[in-house]
Every structure is written in C-alpha cells, then in structure tokens.
Amino acid sequence: MISITSEKATEEINMNKMTFIGAGSMAEALISGIIEKNMLPANQIWTTNRSNREKLIDLQNKYGTSFSYDLDELFKNTDIVILAMKPKDAAEAITRLKHYLTKETLLISVLAGVSISSIEMLAGQPLAVVRAMPNTSATVGKSATGLALNQNVSDQQIKLVTEMFETVGLTTIVKEEQLDAVTGLSGSGPAYIYYLIEAMEKSAVEIGLDRQLAKDLIVQTLIGAAEMVSTSSKAPEQLRKEVTSPGGTTEAGINVLEANHVKQAFIECIKTATNKSKDLGKALSKEFELSL
C-alpha cells in the first residue's frame, strides 16, 4: 500500500489503486495532473474502455499507466473508480462493474447529467459517491470543478477527491442540485469564451490586423482582465466603468453591446444551458430506471 500525501494534506491518505472506466480527454487530463503533481505513481493508475485499445496503449506510452479488459485484474485492490465514459453508457458500465464495488470503494463520476441517486440505483448498494463537473480547461490545469457528494463519503475521501481535482485547477464543493448551474456556467463556459474570441478575431481582421497578431492581443487581454477580476477587490462592473471614459472609444463599443442586448444574451445562454442539463439528467434517470 502506498501513502498519498501533499502539501495541503494534514493526514496520510492510503490508496492502492485508481481505475478509470473510460479513457477520453477528461480521463487523460486527470491522469496527467495526478501524475504531474505526484499524487499517485503511474503504475497504480489503471484504465479501460469499451473497445479502443489503441487509446489505452497511448496512455500507457505517454504516462506509464496500466490497462486491462479483464475485470478481475482491473478491480483487484482498487480503492477509487472514476466513471469517465459517455453518460449514455453509464447504465451498462455500472451494471458490469457493480459486483466489484464494496463499501470501501470511492466512486467518482465525471458524467454530465447522471445523478448520484441514479448511480446508487444502478450499483444496487450503498457506496461513497462523488459527482464532479470539471471543464475542458482541465487539459491545461485550469479547470473550474464543482463537486457534490453523498452521505457515505468520509472526510478523508473528501480530502482525497478535492486534492485529486485540484491537480487540474480550482475545486469547490456544492450541493448536487447546484451542479446543473455549475454545468451551465463553468462546465460549458469555455465554449462561451471561445465564441467571444471568434468574434474578436473576426473583427480584428476586418479592421486590418493580422490574425496571429490579433490572437496574441486577444489572449493577453483576456488573461489580464481575468487576473484583474481575480486579484482586485472591485466588482467587475466597477472595473468596467473605470476603463470606460465618457465619450471615449470603450464607451462607444459598450454602447453597441448594450444596444444588441449582449449581456442579456449571455444570461439567457447560461440559463438555457443549465435547464438543458436538468432535462438531460431527468431523461437519463428515466432511461436508467427502465434498464433495470
């Protein structure tokens, strides 16, 4: 048995093995962060998926992880199981692996829309379950992740899973009913920012700037603005007003955004994404109930 420690840990956390069910981009981001931050040796991280053996070999070559399609081998001495397959495949996957889970197993799900109650129902036994909603910025260690957990998760397990997701960015614990809002805001959030960057790049070309130069200026502007919001005690509204001189260029631009109701469009965008997350969750829950 190995000892998991970090600068933030106040007590040792012992763990034998971590197993990922699904080996997509989110699984790889977590594997990369965990290994880079020395949270767990690569040879004690195992992966599997439905049939893409090439992906498992690629992870093994890049990170030194192990893989198997033999469930007995895969789950032997496993303490943590991470569900990282497509949400629609969750019922089949959990049904196949549930006999290998015990009350000591920590089950972590990064599946959008799959509720803790659905996981418990499919597993057919009381388990320590954590739902995580990271975003794609986990691939560069800058995710904003919301965590929700059931009553079976111990304080030690909370510490472990928090530190696990902190290897790929900021982590906060929320109530499960708030995860749909987290999905609509930060889960889908990177796409909203990319959409904004698309518009800024297109405008830059139209006003005569080279595309690469425009990209560099846009990226640095966003980084700087984000850092200002992060470090300043001032509200974003106040920071905006301080940049917006009466009769100046910024005011002229802001007036166009206001005239086109851009702020309200973003508000409706996030609300709609949140409601879609709720709807998908309800649909998946009904589908899982029918599968039993």
**98 occurs within a structural domain:** yes
Claim to verify: residue 203 and residue 93 sit in the same structural domain: no
What pLDDT, on the 0 to 100 scale, is given for residue 161? 96
Name the residue range of residue 122's domain: 2-179
51, 137, 203, 205, 274 from 194: Cα distances, Å: 32, 12, 14, 17, 19
**277 occurs within a structural domain:** no
Closest CA to 168 of 28, 7, 13, 18: 28
**76 occurs within a structural domain:** yes
Count how many domains the chain has.
2
Residue type, 167: T
pLDDT at 2 over 90: no
**138 occurs within a structural domain:** yes
CATH (domain of 196): 1.10.3730.10
**15 occurs within a structural domain:** yes
**291 occurs within a structural domain:** no
Claim to verify: residue 129 and residue 12 sit in the same structural domain: yes
Claim to verify: residue 173 and residue 247 sit in the same structural domain: no
Average pLDDT of the chain is 93
Claim to verify: residue 167 and residue 211 sit in the same structural domain: no
Residue type, 227: E
Domain termination site, one of 145, 160, 179: 179
Claim to verify: residue 25 and residue 170 sit in the same structural domain: yes
Extract the tokens encoding 58: 């690629």
pLDDT at 7 over 50: no
| Cβ(48)–Cβ(74) below 8 Å | yes
pLDDT at 1 over 50: no
Claim to verify: residue 223 and residue 117 sit in the same structural domain: no
CATH (domain of 21): 3.40.50.720
Claim to verify: residue 172 and residue 224 sit in the same structural domain: no
pLDDT over 70 percentage in the chain: 95
Number of neighbouring beta carbons within 10 Å of residue 108 = 26
Mind listing the pLDDT tens digit for each residue in 241-280? Answer: 999 999 999 999 999 999 999 999 999 999 999 999 999 9
Claim to verify: residue 94 and residue 220 sit in the same structural domain: no
Claim to verify: residue 139 and residue 45 sit in the same structural domain: yes
Where do runs of H (alpha helix) occur along 136-231? 155-166, 179-182, 189-206, 211-231
pTM exceeds 0.75 = yes
Number of neighbouring beta carbons within 10 Å of residue 54 = 8
Domain termination site, one of 179, 206, 235: 179
Mind listing the pLDDT tens digit for each residue in 103-158? Answer: 899 999 999 999 999 999 999 999 999 999 999 999 999 999 999 999 999 999 99
Distance CA 108, CA 131 (A): 6
Mind listing the pLDDT tens digit for each residue in 202-230? Answer: 999 999 999 999 999 999 999 999 999 99
